[in-house]
A and B are shown apart, each in its own frame.
Chain A
Amino acid sequence: MLIRRRPAILAALAAVLAGLAACGSSEDKNTLTMYSGRIAPILSPAVKQYETASGFKVKTRYGDSPALSATIAEEGKNSPADLFFSQDAGSLDAVEKRGLLLKLPADILAKVPTGFRSRTGSWVGTTGRSRIIAYGPKVKQSELPDSPLELTDAKWKGRVGWAPTNASLQGYITALRLVEGEDVAKKWLEGMVANDVQLYDSNIPVRDAIAKGEIDLGLINHYYVAEAQAQDPSYPVKVHFPPKDLGSLINVAGVGVLASSEHKEQAIAFVRQMLSTQTQRYFADSSKEYPVVAGVKAPKELTPLGDIPSPKIDLAKLGDLQGTLKLMRQTGAL
């Protein structure tokens, strides 16, 4: 026993030390660190395109955009992140407001239309997406609501799903507060909670729950449905663009470089790659989003961007994420 015991303890010690050493030496010069609010299945092929083109590696922390934005705010100048890829403009704006993003070079900014990037030039949208109401086969065309605000109606009790921790829904609520006022947003959130809105972790499970008939309507982004339809033309979930109350708000996913990054050149090269024809086409063809760069066509099956009944709203004003989160906590939506 005496003989057997000591190697075990030594091995354990060695394992601890090896582990500590392993994490100490993980700082790699050829690696970019990215915080991503976009999920791995959608983003990682685009990241691979960058890795192949540049020879750099990207390691990514995935999470909800608002949570990552809060993390960057907490970390401040010490953030290990070089890049922040967000699912919505608001989370980027919240980071920009704290002065933590780098101003991007003019050639990058020139590629993206003004409505789809930050006014100060510190982040750019990479793709456009529209808020929609997804609906299942049990809902008749004539029943479809003109506005998300109608979903507090008793008729929809327990039949609607959303993903409250998700950036896209939060972005919509921020826009609602901005345009319709705090009271309208508050009343809506309270009404939705009272109407037994069903909670999901993210947009995909909302869509799948509609497909399975667990719920009938879902507040999500257009491409989740478009992508499923592309794979299966008989997919039972359809897209409705509600014309009123920002129901079809067009938002962007976007990316910014952290001012504290030690690999600024490479991080900027990453942004350039995201706006390249190659990656823009990937986003359009695979994840069915609207490309932002001129010359790359949107997928044919999508409703043209110009036909979506979306109000003109300055995306760069959606930075009051904190206020939205507070309101959501207050009303029990979060």
Chain B
Amino acid sequence: MDAAAAGRALGRRLPAAVRVLGTRRPPLVLLGLGLAVGLSAALPALYLVVAVFDDAGGALDAVLTDRTLGLITRSLGLAAAVTAAAIAIAVPLAWLTVRSDLPGRRVWATLATLPLVIPSYIGAYLFVSALGPRGALATLLGVQLPSIYGFTGAFLVLTLFTYPLVLIPLRSALRRMDPSLEEAARVMGRSPSEVFRSVVLPQLAPAIGAGGVLVALYVLSDFGAVSIMRFNSFTRDIYIAYQSGFGRTEAAALGMVLVIVMLVLFAVYARVRAARALHRVTPGAQRPTQPVRLGRWRWPALALCGTVVGVALVLPVGVLLYWATKQISSGLELGALTTNGWHSLLAAACAAAAASLGAIVVALLSVRYPSVLTRIVERVGYAGYALPGIVVALALVFFTTRVALPLYQTLAVLVFALAIHYLPLAVSPIGAALLQVPPRLEEAARGLGRSPMAVLRTITTPLVASGVLGGAALVFLHALKELPATLLLAPIGFDTLATDVWHQTSFGFYEASAIPALLLLLIAAPPLYLLSAKGSVGS
């Protein structure tokens, strides 16, 4: 019998110590490691509070202005608009690629997910150069286009590179859906569109909600695209306040406000996820649904898929390739490219390894030894999601300059920041994999005399390997793209592909930035392939 379940069933009657520590005592080493991971994950948030209270008066002055209100309104407005648009793109794409007889739907599904790999800052400058007032399109048409800068540009770019965050959960929800409900509704005389509205859509609501909140969180923490589009959002203002302030309380205080906004959204996300338990009505194995015949509608459907994939994937990659060939023909500096590529690889791989190790500990504790304490560790582990990269970096700059000076401007701090920032990405798949490992195997090994750590090493870890790999690949992908934390924390002379692209574009050297950008996409390809083969991209 599952001791934890028994403990939950007994509820309040258990003594306090048992409720806090759980009925199954985790090995002390594991518990210690878990607390260390939890503390690490909480460090940026905690230190931000310390930094703000250092100069509470100044912080209040900095925050209590009309400007802050304007920033919140602007950022939330952008997040809401992008989320709505991403859902509007993702719903038809998901339905078409899962439930219809759209020609080549598998290929469309893969292609439509790929824009997620293009960092928003690369997407943004590609759009500026292609659709800007004096961009390629304007030159082609011989007219001056209206300015793309500001809300329009930020909205366009962020929508195109975040809609896969809704598409992915939506597709898997559609695949899991019980077809018998729809069939019943059809039998009772509902039209296909009524069935979609009254039966399908309500079942998809949790997936849409969860994906939508992820988009909103992404938009709120995005730095690169809004900066290039000159849309004055919260993150951009934090960066400028950080760059231009002596003392920097203002940046920390603004960071706090953003964190609070994000935490509220994150709480919504947790709610939506918890409410997501979708059960099949009929017992037995999942039955494939009959694809809906599109008939004449297949042409507009293909046009829709083609437009989305064309604008979000073919156009950006095409422009990059075009610039890259131009750059190559005018001479290529391989030295910096390989160094920066190696730096990107090193930082992202270290972050992925560190995050996976931390995630194994957190997931083990929360799945195998549930208690109030381990649940707190797990929740804190998720905090990284709600902290924008720039805030994590900011807190660590404060922390290292004031408390841990020998670590200041070392690679270790950058890796640490990336690892705790993306820890939740690794915890989810590892936790899911662990849930599928029968505890009896571990108990048998314990019964045969293995120590808890030996069981962890020889039984549990190998069995969750695929979850660990999936988690590590996700962290690697995200760490590779990360911009603001890398800008703030990278050691002197440690340029990565991301910061190189950023610097080149800030001088307006678009062609020179194409090759590092392409290399970045190339390095991202293998882990992405690994993930899409497992069908868990972005989950």
Contacts and interface: CB of A to CB of B under 8 A. Distances in A.
B411 A20 contact: yes
Contacts of B240: 165, 334
Interface of chain B: mostly helix, strand, loop or mixed: helix
A245 B137 CA distance: 40
Interface stretch (A1-9, A116-124, A236-244, A283-291): A1-9
B7 interface: no
User: How large, as a class, is the contact surface on chain A?
Assistant: 35 or more
Nearest to B244: A325
Contact of B493 (A61, A199, A201, A322): A61
Contacts of A145: none
Interface in A1-58: 1-2, 4-6, 8-9, 12-13, 15-16, 19-20, 22-24, 26, 33, 39-41
Contacts of A4: 465
Interface in A163-210: 165, 199, 201-202, 204-205, 208-209
Contacts of A209: 134
B163 to A, nearest CB: 28
Nearest to B356: A12
A9 B464 CA distance: 12
Contacts of B469: 8
A214 B134 contact: yes
B415 A16 contact: yes
A329 interface: yes
Interface string B490-502: 0111000000000
A19 B246 contact: no
B459 to A, nearest CB: 9
Interface in B444-503: 458, 461-463, 465, 468-469, 472, 491-493, 503
A19 B492 contact: no
Contacts of B507: 39, 41, 201-202, 204-205
A64 B354 CA distance: 32
B380 interface: no
A165 B491 contact: no
Interface residues of B, number: 47
B412 interface: yes
Interface string A206-227: 0011001110000000000000
A1 B412 contact: no
Nearest to B243: A67
A12 B472 contact: yes
A60 interface: yes
B440 interface: no
B67 A33 contact: no
B408 interface: yes
Given A1-B462, A12-B472, A74-B246, 18 more contacts: A2-B458, A2-B462, A12-B349, A13-B357, A15-B350, A16-B415, A19-B411, A20-B415, A23-B412, A24-B412, A26-B410, A70-B244, A94-B246, A201-B507, A202-B507, A208-B508, A214-B132, A321-B246
Report the 6 A-B pairs with minimum CB-CB distance, sorted nearest first. A12-B353, A23-B411, A59-B493, A212-B134, A67-B243, A201-B506
Interface of B: 67, 132-134, 144, 230, 240-241, 243-248, 250, 346-347, 349-350, 352-354, 356-357, 401, 405, 408-412, 415, 458, 461-463, 465, 468-469, 472, 491-493, 503, 506-508
